Structure 1
Amino acid sequence: MTNLFLSHDRSRLHDGRRSFDPWALAWGPPEGALPEGSEISPEAAVSWLYGEAKGRRVPVGVIGPREASPREIEVAEALGRRLGALGVPVLNGGKTGVMEAISKGCMESGGDVFGFIPDEDWRCANLYVTVPLATGIGPARNVLIARASLALIAIGGEYGTLSEMALGLHFDKPVFALENAPHVDGALSMDGVEEVVAALLPVILHLEK
């Protein structure tokens, strides 16, 4: 893992060689000498990015079934709370089940929740979606979710979730699978919320390559 440093005035993130642009979400050569700073963890860097730095807010997509099991609901809410506390914006289909649970956890932790709902009326979104976007295109909105997300996290699910996972991989997005989500070659199976968050941090910070 790359060592990360935050300048003492908390205005610049760098890795000792490159500086991170929180608006372009990209690493590049520094303008002038790199400032002195303190080493920080990837989690602290993500909190800084979405907080003090006011970085560009590309959402993480969370997908899963409308009719979710109690365990899937529990995991989705827990993941939502973790992402919301970090300031990570979440995108989902805006309806019930896993979508509602991730929305609830994220919103109640202070996070932003975007919902691409299949309906023509934004009022059809669940009550925890903070930015409801009525697409009016039915299940085809799954393509939008896969395309617009920085990464996808699947929690359980069957054929619908499988298709979204495949779309994410087709669009070269990292795809993480939780709670017996469908097996798709290229998706990474995770054991729990903390493992997903740990894998997601370098993606958000563009340290994966």
Structure 2
Amino acid sequence: MQVLFWNERTQQLGDGARVFDPLALTWRDDAPEHDGKAVTASEALLRLAATRKLRRVPIGIIGPRDATQAQYDLAEQMGAALARHGLQLLCGGKNGVMEAACKGHAQEGGMPVGLLPDEEWHAANPYVAIPIATGIGPARNAIIARACLVLVAIGGGVGTLSEMALGLQFNRLVLAMADAPEVNTVERVADVDGVIARIAARLLANA
């Protein structure tokens, strides 16, 4: 099992023999001067985010437009957690789970990106900082699945299921929360901290 160390003086993450490059998201053979403090993957992500050097590869939050209150609240918490950990949110930019995720992300200082199915940016929910109007309808789901390093499904029906399937086809990490559709090869995660831990592990996986 990989053990991670954070060097406060150099602001570097190491594993005893290598140093993590936050821009390239890879490890390089360059032993740090000393190991520093042992940290979890999630703690390492927080510290890397604070340096403002972490490459902002998109993380997708997907789910229904007609979200339940429980789904909305969970998506808002998930969006906020992504922002706190320096992670870029990319979603469909519409209502429901997408709106909630954008709201949480924006309130924590993030700049959520909405990839809209519509022809004009005005169709975005009010929390989208960067609306991208594709004009291609549901086909934009494939772009979201392809662009994101990780997809997090919160609730959803056929549309969400299609994004999950596309994510698996593109070899992305797909995680399911709450009552997201059941897919045999998709890992179900109980809470926000668990999702952040899985995302951090994927980002730091080039071991």
- TM-score bracket relative to the smaller structure: over 0.9
- 1:9-61 per-position Cα deviation (integer Å, ceiling 9, x unaligned): 2332111122111111011211xx42222222322211222331512110110
- Residues 11, 53 of structure 1: 8 Å contact kept: no
> Alpha-carbon deviation of 1:150?
0.8
2:32 aligns with: 34
Matched AA of 2:32: L
> Alpha-carbon deviation of 1:66?
0.5
Structure 2, gaps ≥5 residues long: none
Q: How many residues align?
A: 206
Q: Partners in 1 of 2:156 and 2:4 — Cα distance?
A: 36
1:200 aligns with: 199
Alignment of 1:181-196 (within 5 A): 181-196=180-195
> Alpha-carbon deviation of 1:6?
2.1
SS in 2 for 1:154: strand
Matched AA of 2:118: D
2:175 aligns with: 176
Q: Partners in 2 of 1:2 and 1:132 — Cα distance?
A: 38
- Residues 54, 86 of structure 2: 8 Å contact kept: no
2:77 aligns with: 78
Structure 1, gaps ≥5 residues long: none
Q: TM-score, normalised by structure 1?
A: 0.92
1:90 aligns with: 89
Alignment of 1:39-188 (within 5 A): 39-188=38-187
SS in 2 for 1:73: helix
Matched AA of 1:10: T
- Residues 56, 86 of structure 2: 8 Å contact kept: no
- Residues 25, 206 of structure 1: 8 Å contact kept: no
1:3 aligns with: 3
Q: Partners in 1 of 2:3 and 2:162 — Cα distance?
A: 36
SS in 2 for 1:74: helix
> Alpha-carbon deviation of 1:8?
3.6
> Alpha-carbon deviation of 1:177?
0.4
Root-mean-square deviation over aligned CA pairs? 1.5
| Mapped pair 1:19 → 2:19 | yes
Q: TM-score, normalised by structure 2?
A: 0.93
Displacement over 3 Å in runs of 4+ = none
95-104 vs 80-89, which deviates more?
80-89
- 1:60-115 per-position Cα deviation (integer Å, ceiling 9, x unaligned): 10100001111110111111122222221111000000000011011101122111
- 1:151-187 per-position Cα deviation (integer Å, ceiling 9, x unaligned): 0000000110000000000000010001111111211
Q: Partners in 2 of 1:112 and 1:53 — Cα distance?
A: 14
94-103 vs 131-140, which deviates more?
131-140
